[in-house]
Amino acid sequence: MEFLEIDGSFGEGGGQIVRTATALSCIMNQPIIIENIRKGRKNPGLKSQHLTTLKILKKICNANLDHLKFGAMSLKFIPSKVKSLNLKEDVGTAGSISLIILVLIPVVAICKKKLNLTLKGGTDVLWSPTIDYTQIILREMYSRMGFNFSVNIIKRGYFPKGEGLIELEVLPLEKINPIILSKRKTKSVKLTCTFSRLPSKLINNQINNIEKKLIENDFNVENQVKEEPTLDSGASLMVSSIDNDSIIGFDSLFNKKTKKFDLDLDKFIQNKYSVDEHLADMLVLPASLANGMTVFQVDNISKHLETNLFVASKITGCKYGIGRLRDGFEVRIEGVSYSCIK
């Protein structure tokens, strides 16, 4: 058995290498060894969210998995055949639900299987996409590439208790379509906000101020604000802009110290390219397996994007290039066609 060795400290050096590498390991049926997991972080090694992801992947592809324990800095992952499953899982903390299902969707769909998953954890937490980002932005991207999945939010979960609950359904994929995205042309924006156990006046004032600034910059704004019961107080905001040539989303959590959403609205307003910084790195995995070239433009090449390009090219053999634009970058990924999957 030939293992592919991956340095977990490469690039952004976080959990993303583990997520991308193990997902592609399942899809390509390629055994891998990952060393130095989150080596440079304050608390290195695997965390609860990573453990939940790996445990679910282990069930889905009947993997042989060593070193599956909290704080482990290396793991050996040997996948087998992916199968359809109905599962109920609990992160046990406010660990990100969105980051977990980001791994599961391509594995199940590309391997032409089905998944029905009930998952408990954090729906809107720091350092991860909010569940609205997953529903609005990620789903739009995956839909254009041929994927079919749905997320039903039963209950929101904020830090520290979490206890959010979602139902995920993933259906088999027929083929992976490459996509070409250029520049944002629309001036339509949607604000999606949910909150709990916070004064409605405080939240609505924040939304009104954001809407006012967008209108001042010639955007047409639609907003949806909803109060939902949760264990912990919190609020989540999604600013989205979608047209035929672009898929852009900026999400934010309410900062209870500053009494504001931690949102870089100026960056959203100024972004004239086709994807936001986070969607850019999420595009890499499906694009690496598409039958053709995916092209998108982004204002910045993040460490996460660099990391995913490195891992995907190492495991799938896809080719990619990054071109400099006047004040941004164009990324091209030539997929290897998922028909080559063992």
Which residues are identified as catalytic?
304
* Phi, psi angles (nearest 5°) of residue 170: -120, 130
Checking DSSP bridges between strand 32-35 and strand 4-7, what pairing results, if any? parallel
List of residues 6+ apart from 208 with CB closer than 8 A: none
Q: How far is CA 82 from CA 46, 147, 191, in A?
A: 23, 17, 38
Q: Angle formed by the axes of helices 97-110 and 48-61, to 10°?
A: 20
- DSSP character for 17? H
Nearest Cα neighbor of 10 from 310, 285, 313, 316 is: 310
CA distance 65 to 162: 27
Is 85:124 a contact under the CB 8 Å cutoff? no
Measured distance CA(319)–CA(309) in Å, rounded: 9
